[in-house]
Amino acid sequence: MHKELLEDIGEKELIKRLAGFMPKNQVSDDCAYIKAKNKNLLINTDSLVENIHFNDDTISALDVGWKAVACNVSDLISSGCSKIIGVNIGLIVPSKTDWIWIKDLYTGINLALDHFGGLILGGDCSVGKEKVISMTAIGTQGEIKLRRNSCKPKEIILTTGIHGLSKLGLMIKSKTFFDSDIALTQSLINSSLQQFCKPKLKTQFLKKILKARPNKCFKEIGCTDSSDGLFQALLDLATESNCKAIIDYSKVPKHKNWPKGNKWDEYYCFGGEDYELVFSLPRKWADNLLSADKTITEIGFFLEGKASVEFKNCNNKNLCQNKSFSHF
């Protein structure tokens, strides 16, 4: 009898199957939504695993701590969190781990919490063959719910910033060999290393959305973050909302010194860990937001149709055939 291995079925199929053990729509978003008497809560868990998400050659323990918080808080923000309450930490480390590494890790965690909000609430420790930081972040649900399944046909697709930088930062840290015709400017290098080591988040996003809202009857919009790359963010929105995303690749914002070519298109769309927000709004709402915030860019729209992503004005005709990162 043939055994089904995780490397065969992949991460998305695994999550789909695990959803069968949970209430309906529980895995539609990264965050769980919990109704409470006074304040409704958002809860998110992310894990960073040594030699999968980090290693000592590419990133310091201090920055691992920052990123552990950032990847969790980004999911809360992309669900409409109004306040970060705190984090619980599950720590697995080999017994020969240097205490200084642990100290730097938790220093980085506290630096991030000082910046984003919240406290360390507790956690658990255990021994293991590799380092694992599993973090659960808790926040309060804001006035508007941001959900992957709330995009609608004819809505405008927008993004908060530039993608691909964290991928390039990892490549630089990993001493990746670049073709001789590629010259990376210092500005691009600095931006990429910043986004890889200590990513910034869009902490004011909910306030900006609310301020631009043309009508208070709007209570929910489609949104996710680009932690798994721009393409996967678009595909997640299209899949959960059952819409077709049409993206004008010529409008997608890039660093002014981003190299040209098919490989660089792929690094941009499939890199991940940029934690930019990708979302959709009705036209009037989108126009209000675009007028108020020049860092937000209109990149396409949704149509009725089979859940998919289509790029227009893109020289790389095979771009959509690439695969997003999978843990298995």
Q: Could you read off the pLDDT of 49-71 as tens digits, one per residue?
A: 999 999 999 999 999 999 999 99
User: Tokens at residue 183, please?
Assistant: 């010259």
Q: Is the pLDDT of residue 133 over 90?
A: yes
Calpha distance 69→281 (Å, rounded): 28
Q: What is the CATH number of domain 31-141?
A: 3.30.1330.10
Q: 322 pLDDT band (50/70/90 cuts)?
A: low
Percent of the chain residues past pLDDT 70, beyond the cut = 97
Region 225-242 average pLDDT: 96
Is residue 26 pLDDT above 80, yes or no?
no
Quick: pLDDT tens for 138-181. Answer: 999 999 999 999 999 999 999 999 999 999 999 999 998 888 77
Provide the b/e sequence for 143-155 (b: ≥16 CB within 10 Å): ebbbbbbbbeeeb
Strands (E), 36-183: 41-49, 81-93, 119-127, 132-141, 145-147, 156-159
The residues spanned by each domain of the chain are 31-141, 145-321
- CATH-assigned architecture of domain 145-321: Alpha-Beta Complex (3.90)
Contact 48, 64 (CB under 8 A): yes
The answer to which of 33-42, 72-81, 156-165 has the lowest mean pLDDT is 33-42
Q: What percent of the chain has pLDDT over 90?
A: 80
